Amino acid sequence: MSYKHCSELGHKVRNHLIALGLEQPRDFANDSQAKINSIAASYKDILDTLGLKTQEFEQTPQRVARMFTQEIFNGLDYNNFPTCALYENEFPYSGKLTQKNINIMSTCEHHFVPFIGEAEVSFIPKDNNIIGLCRINSICDFFARRPQIQERMTAQIFETLKFILGSEDISVKIKAKHTCVSLRGANNKDTETYTEMLGGVFA
């Protein structure tokens, strides 16, 4: 997903989540060539250990390293946090606003295989705290793009929206299929996992 970044807001969100115990106090520079080279070398060791030393795998370590740092794990870097401008509630509208069918594509931190699903986010607009609809999608995508567990991701999105909107009236629900369940373990391709956090009027 492509969106504009706001590192200042990102680090405010990061510090807020650290204080809540929902984030680790780490720094991650995803454009570091030294980091890409280090990951590639480590991944090559894995391939070599598996006996995958043929020409077909020659470029795989660099591809994986770039994919990790620049794509599927770029949510580790809060410099990539999306810009989230707030707008005045001019109408005014005091009802519930819900954004459904938000794509969630993340990676299980326990087995490093994907989990994919949908989020539903609701909130009650305040006087000067209307957020652009696409920013809700961007926030969900940001926290999905890292090694994750669904429960923490739900809490991170929930607390971030509370922080940005200055409101308790937030609802975040996520439904996902985890390939750590379907590809291994129980090998159950139909199992779905549901998580939700409700605040204010939604609770």
Q: Tell me which of 6, 84, 159, 178 is the catalytic residue.
A: 178
Phi-psi region of 187 (alpha: psi -120 to 50; beta: other; left: phi over 0): left
Q: How far apart (Å, rounded) are the C-alpha atoms in residues 130 and 94? A: 11
Q: For residue 6, which of 71, 92, 77 has the smallest C-alpha distance?
A: 77
d(CA 38, CA 52): 19
Whether cis (ω within 30° of 0) applies to the bond prior to 92 is yes
Whether residue 16 lies in the annotated active site: no
Is residue 59 part of the annotated active site? The answer reads no
180 is an active site residue? yes
Asked if 176 and 115 touch (Cβ cutoff 8 Å), the reply is yes
Q: Which of 16, 168, 180, 196 is catalytic?
A: 180
Identified catalytic residue from 59, 110, 134, 151: 110
Q: Is 108 a catalytic residue?
A: yes
Q: Which of 62, 111, 118, 196 is catalytic?
A: 111
Q: Is 111 a catalytic residue?
A: yes
Helix (H, G, I), strand (E, B) or coil at 149: coil
Catalytic site residue from 71, 109, 151, 192: 109
- Point out the catalytic residue in the list 148, 150, 156, 159: 150
Catalytic residue among 6, 84, 108, 140: 108
Alpha carbons 29 and 17: distance in angstroms, whole number: 19
E-strand stretches of the chain: 86-87, 97-108, 114-123, 130-131, 147-148, 170-178, 193-198
Q: Which residues are catalytic?
A: 108-111, 150, 178, 180
